[in-house]
Structure 1
Amino acid sequence: MITGAAGGLGSALADALAPTHTLFLAGRPSSRLDVVAERHGASTWPVDLADPDSLASVVEPIVELDVLIHNAGVAYPGRVAESTVEQWRSTMAVNVVGAVALTLELLPALRAARGQVVFINSGSGINASPGLAAYSSSKFALRAFADSLRADEPSLRVTSVHPGRIATAMQEDLVAYEGRDYDPEQFLSAQTVAQVTVDAINAPHDAHIHEVIVRPH
């Protein structure tokens, strides 16, 4: 299962995993999500991480799951003094609480498969980024949740992927906030981050990759 599967990195993850995995593409229903699903003959799952109470009924049919990739996320560019409580609440609701809630609902299916949970984190989850106060805080929290899950669920493999800035629509918004011209060549491609993530997923079963850090060359 890939959350945020309609986005730039989500669709790249789907493309990279389609040859070896049956895909469950999770996200809010949209034509973009449908396009990714049609490309791979995959199923879509109407997952709204901002509404954790809705998740149980959506994922209830899943009894075994090899891989859960937490890719969905939101970001509101802004320094601390520019941010609002509502932005913090929304960021934490999707990036942290939603990821926790979905993991808890799928934990029996993951245990049954002795599966893997992958968190697409960020460089901001290691060093806080200027102008991304709420986002950075949420990614630190997500990293801590991944570490806790790894410690508490020894049958699972848990991997945090910390890419640098990726050429996506979210990045365009951030560059606009910074008042600069957007040049995708300055950033990692979604395909590169997807491939690095897939390499961690496909690592031999006696290898438990805790953390992957990827930066533009």
Structure 2
Amino acid sequence: MATHVITGAGSGIGAAVARRLHARGDELVLHARDAGRAKELAAAYPGARTLVGDLADPDRLSWAFSHQTLPDRVDSLLHVAGVVDLGPVGDLTPRSWHHQLNVNLIAPAELTRHFLPQLRAARGHVLFVNSGSGLTANADWSAYAASKHGLKALADSLRQEEHPHGVRVTSVYPGRTAGPMQAKVHRQEGKEYDPSKWIDPESVATTILMAIDLPADAEVNDLTVRPGR
């Protein structure tokens, strides 16, 4: 039975992945930003363990984890959580830059650092849910795109470093996907939000499970997913 550490399991793509893995009987360790959120996740996924730490404050993750029991085995670390705040460079404040870089880039690096010993022992898998913005930066997306371009660099470097240890590394680049983040983006863009126009989170979850379920003789490095309509 595989053990998966998942961020962002409360909604969207993360929730779709967590539901699928839970339904098939895998062990889940679900990250939560605070104790209240951890309680909600534990109720939604009976038998799952939780891990509390604020991704917006990666400097304190090590302290937070030192007061909790980390899993002895980790077969996959799934970085799904993310935040977005649109705006032109001339308007974005350091607070907005720091928040997006902390949650989208620095916290995944810190989480990966903490779980690398378990991942190496299990010859496991690190998967980063990136974004189309990790490949192309458009107007008003500078901070988010910078964080996601950085996440691609993190994944590419990690893949080369951990190949000798048997750890696989995958980046998934979804296009616009229906969910709370997409609803927020539409509000910031001043557009009407119709979730039926965008990728269903379950479709992205299917690609993620394909990547982590692939036999050990192969590895998906980069996978781009785009709306089909």
After TM superposition, the score normalised by the length of structure 1 is: 0.94
For structure 1, the residue ranges without an aligned partner over 5 or more in a row are none
Give the structure 2 partner of residue 17 of structure 1. 21
Structure 2 letter corresponding to 1:200? A
- Cα pair distance change 1:88/1:147, threshold 3 Å: same
Paired with 1:46 and 1:99, the residues of 2 have a C-alpha distance of 14
After TM superposition, give the deviation of residue 58 of structure 1 in Å: 5.4
> Does residue 38 of structure 1 match 2:77?
no
Q: Segments of 4+ in structure 1 off by > 4 A?
A: 30-33
SS at match of 2:90: helix
User: Residue 118 of structure 1: which of 101, 117, 127 is its match?
Assistant: 127
> For residues 13 and 153 of structure 1, do their structure 2 counterparts lie closer, same or farther at Cα, with a shift above 3 Å needed?
same
User: Within 1, Cα distance between the matches of 2:68 and 2:168?
Assistant: 21
**One-letter amino acid of the counterpart of residue 213, structure 1:** T
Q: What does residue 71 of structure 1 align with?
A: 80
Find the counterpart in structure 1 of residue 204 from structure 2: 193
**1:31: Cα distance to partner?**
5.4
Q: Look up the match of 1:152.
A: 161
Partner of 2:8: 4
Partner of 2:193: 182
Q: What is the deviation of 1:20?
A: 4.6
Corresponding letter in the other structure for 1:188? I
Q: Which runs of 5+ in 2 are unaligned?
A: none
Q: For 1:105 and 1:180, how far apart are their aligned partners in 2?
A: 40
Does the 8 Å contact 1:68/1:117 carry over to 2? yes
Q: Distance in 2 between matches of 1:122 and 1:58?
A: 33
Task: Name 1:48's counterpart in structure 2.
Answer: 54
- Residue 27 of structure 1: how far off its partner (Å): 1.6
Distance of aligned partners of 1:79 and 1:20 in 2 relative to their CA distance in 1, 3 Å threshold: farther
Q: Quick check: 14-23 or 204-213, which moved more?
A: 14-23
Which residue of 1 is the match for residue 139 of structure 2? 130
Could you tell me how far apart the structure 2 residues matched to 1:12 and 1:43 are? 17
Distance in 1 (alpha carbons) for counterparts of 2:178 and 2:36 = 21
CA distance in 1 between partners of 2:8 and 2:227 (Å): 23
**8 Å CA contact retained: 2:7, 2:78:** yes
| CA deviation profile, 1:80-106 (whole Å, cap 9, x unmatched) | 122112111111111111111111011
Measure the CA separation in 2 of the matches of 1:36 and 1:49.
16
Q: Note if 1:103 corresponds to 2:112.
A: yes
Question: Quick check: 11-20 or 162-171, which moved more?
Answer: 11-20
Q: Percent identity?
A: 41
Instruction: Give the counterpart letter for 2:44 in structure 1.
Output: R
Q: Which amino acid aligns with 1:87?
A: S
